[in-house]
């Protein structure tokens, strides 16, 4: 999965991450750029190894792979799987997957079917507070009709003047306890990790700092992920603070997990970090690409 020229020592503090980005999204889920455009932007910014990790869908990988070959960068087949754990939604990245694997494809198709029902319920909740036409409005931002997500509703609400930006929409309308929040049962940790492993990939717990958990819950999540067969944790990512980089490096060491890094780029103006805009991993952890 890795270019021979980028094979590095596992001492992750020696590795420059500006050329590696293992978390990004295209219009096949909730990103703003088509797969080809995303790859082109990554190449222009000096990224040499890029993972496209759309939510519950691998449909953009073929286009991204073609563009990567033209741009001279290495594409890592990826996906970001929605998981329910402890009553909360968490995400698990699959890196180096086989998108044609029947078990993975079937599991993702089931999750996408659930997304359609959730979208209708979100629209119903927003309608109760006077927001009309939100489902149709969200669909106007969708390239993949199977993946109407919260980000698409957020863009519609910004367009209609309900909030100044996407982040504000999530806080005011889509967070737990707000009118557009819909609790949903996604895959289990064991299912998500199992699908990834069966398809030949590595399971990575995505942006753990985003989940509203106390220390006991977080330890439970890491323990459950490790027991399910998870291999890595996203230490450096767009939504983590500098302090959290070190916090989750320690979690990686404590639970014997590899460290990953990715911008979680969705689009300019909507993401904390641009493609390739990543600092070095903290000392002491082993990167997921150490033996690629």
Render pLDDT for 239-275 as a digit per residue (tens, 0 to 9): 999 999 999 999 999 999 999 999 999 999 889 999 9
**Across 13-17, 29-33, 228-232, least confident range:** 13-17
**What pLDDT score was predicted for residue 209?**
97
Q: Report, as an integer, the average pLDDT of 82-106.
A: 97
Q: Report, as an integer, the average pLDDT of 162-173.
A: 93
In which band, very low, low, confident or very high, does the pLDDT at 292 lie, cut at 50, 70 and 90? confident
Average pLDDT taken over every residue of the chain: 91
In which band, very low, low, confident or very high, does the pLDDT at 115 lie, cut at 50, 70 and 90? confident
Q: Report, as an integer, the average pLDDT of 79-88.
A: 96
Percent of the chain with pLDDT over 70: 94
Residue 281: closest CA among 251, 265, 261 = 261
Residue 184: closest CA among 125, 123, 128, 114 = 114
Q: Report, as an integer, the average pLDDT of 12-22.
A: 63
What is the CA 193 to chain-centroid distance, rounded?
A: 15
Give the total residue count for the chain: 292
In which band, very low, low, confident or very high, does the pLDDT at 191 lie, cut at 50, 70 and 90? very high
Give the Cα separation of 60 and 72 in Å (integer). 18
**What pLDDT score was predicted for residue 160?**
94
**What pLDDT score was predicted for residue 18?**
61
- Whether residue 118 is predicted with pLDDT greater than 90 in this model: the reply is no
Percent of the chain with pLDDT over 90: 83
- Is-contact 177 76, C-beta < 8 A? no
- Whether residue 7 is predicted with pLDDT greater than 70 in this model: the reply is no
Give the Cα separation of 118 and 123 in Å (integer). 9
List b or e across 113-127, with b for residues whose CB sees 16 or more CB atoms inside 10 angstroms.
Answer: eebeebbeebbebbe
**What pLDDT score was predicted for residue 205?**
98
In which band, very low, low, confident or very high, does the pLDDT at 6 lie, cut at 50, 70 and 90? very low
Give the Cα separation of 158 and 165 in Å (integer). 6
In which band, very low, low, confident or very high, does the pLDDT at 17 lie, cut at 50, 70 and 90? low
**Across 7-11, 47-51, 176-180, 251-255, least confident range:** 7-11
**What pLDDT score was predicted for residue 64?**
98
What is the set of domains in the chain, with CATH numbers? 15-109+187-262 (3.20.20.140), 117-174 (1.10.150.650)
- Whether residue 13 is predicted with pLDDT greater than 70 in this model: the reply is no
- Whether residue 153 is predicted with pLDDT greater than 80 in this model: the reply is yes
74-85 and 88-95 beta bridge pairing: antiparallel
């Amino acid at each position: 999965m890795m270019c021979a020229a980028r094979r590095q020592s596992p001492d992750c503090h020696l590795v420059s991450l500006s050329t590696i980005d293992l978390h990004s999204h295209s219009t096949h889920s909730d990103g703003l750029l088509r797969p080809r455009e995303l790859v082109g932007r990554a190449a222009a910014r000096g990224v040499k190894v890029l993972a496209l990790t759309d939510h519950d869908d691998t449909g953009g990988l073929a286009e991204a792979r073609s563009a990567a070959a033209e741009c001279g960068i290495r594409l890592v087949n990826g996906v970001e799987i929605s998981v329910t754990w402890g009553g909360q939604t968490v995400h698990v990245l699959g890196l180096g997957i086989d998108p044609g694997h029947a078990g993975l494809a079937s599991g993702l198709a089931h999750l996408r079917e659930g997304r359609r029902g959730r979208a209708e319920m979100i629209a119903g909740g927003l309608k109760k507070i006077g927001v009309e036409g939100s489902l149709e409005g969200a669909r106007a931002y969708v390239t993949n009709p199977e993946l109407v997500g919260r980000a698409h509703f957020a863009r519609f609400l910004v367009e209609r003047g309900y909030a100044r930006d996407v982040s504000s929409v999530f806080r005011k309308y889509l967070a737990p306890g707000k009118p557009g929040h819909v609790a949903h049962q996604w895959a289990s940790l064991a299912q998500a990790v199992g699908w990834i492993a069966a398809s030949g990939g590595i399971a990575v717990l995505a942006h753990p700092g985003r989940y509203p958990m106390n220390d006991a819950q977080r330890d439970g999540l890491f323990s459950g992920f490790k027991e399910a067969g998870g291999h890595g944790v996203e230490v450096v990512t767009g939504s983590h603070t500098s302090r959290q980089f070190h916090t989750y490096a320690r979690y990686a060491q404590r639970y014997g997990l590899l460290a990953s890094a990715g911008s979680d780029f969705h689009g300019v103006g909507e993401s904390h970090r641009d493609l390739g805009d990543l600092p070095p991993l903290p000392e002491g952890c082993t990167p997921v690409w150490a033996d690629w």
